[in-house]
Chain A
Amino acid sequence: MRHGARKMLEKLQDVQMRLQDKPQLLRRGRLISDTVLLRVDGDEFYLHFDKGALATITPGPSKKIPYQFGLSTDAEALAAFWTPTPPPGFHDIFAMAKIGRLEFSGDILRLVKNLMFFKEVLLLGREGAA
């Protein structure tokens, strides 16, 4: 695994641990048992949610793992997103999509139906997030 991918995996594992300490967020996601593909600079990470918990993170590449929807971005954009007060455009995943730094794939309605949960999970990686 290349260095950038290893650092990203560590970051996602940190998000995974923080989510375990968020009972209200886990409750919000209690009906969500989906796999989400996060692609960063081409490196793939399959996030397997089980009743709201981020149960496992499987690094890719893989052509065999089914997923409900995917987010594809770059490490620089994601690093900006995770700063305490990102500049305009990097403060939200939909804003990142609008400025062309993130793309959605798969069942976007599945994402939108549970958008607050997935947004809050990703925000756990932001510096200063409790």
Chain B
Amino acid sequence: MEQFTQEFFNLDVMTKVAPFLLQGLLQTLLLCSFLIPIGLVSGILVMLLTTSPYRLLRWPAIVAVDFFRAFPPLVLLVFVYAGLPFIGLRVPALVAVAVAFLINSASYYGEIYRAGMVSVPKGQREAARSTGLSATQTLLYVTLPQAIRNVLPDLLSNTVELVKLTTLASVISVPELLHSANLARSLTYNSSPLILAAIIYLLLLLPVVRLIARLEHRL
């Protein structure tokens, strides 16, 4: 038992590495601060394409969404980061993370918005258009808000997934939280930094996960 505490809950090690992990946390938050808003907005664009009345727009978009939903994000990340330099396109690790995860999350967000749009009765759009609202106004003021309300738990849950996804950036040495923790682990020969990182992730995400569970059961 003591060995277990020493290895996983060593307070000396935890206090020593805490400032280092906080720097990692800042990097994680930085990643989230642009991945989440851009993901949410590009998801709407993807949804507009996959629900477009024009077949020439709709079908390629649906194929692309399915392709990238089948593409493991880590494989995409390694492909962008390690593959492109071979043709002279050397991208910084942060850019590779941004490109790979935005492609991935835009596909997922897009599918969620689409499910939301499908759940809004057709009459809503027809009524809005017949009162003289333009197509854009109808989307912004009538159908999209209802769609978002209907799939709010899914949007939140995908956002949690996106935050968890940022840990994959550690594989290409972006100094985010998990990467810092793993580095600290190898320097201290002790796993407490990993547990500390796990605790930080729990503090960050557990409240959202609880909120999602409550929203889901209310619906």
Do A and B come together as binding partners? no
Residues of A that sit less than 8 Å from B by CB = none
Residues of B that sit less than 8 Å from A by CB = none
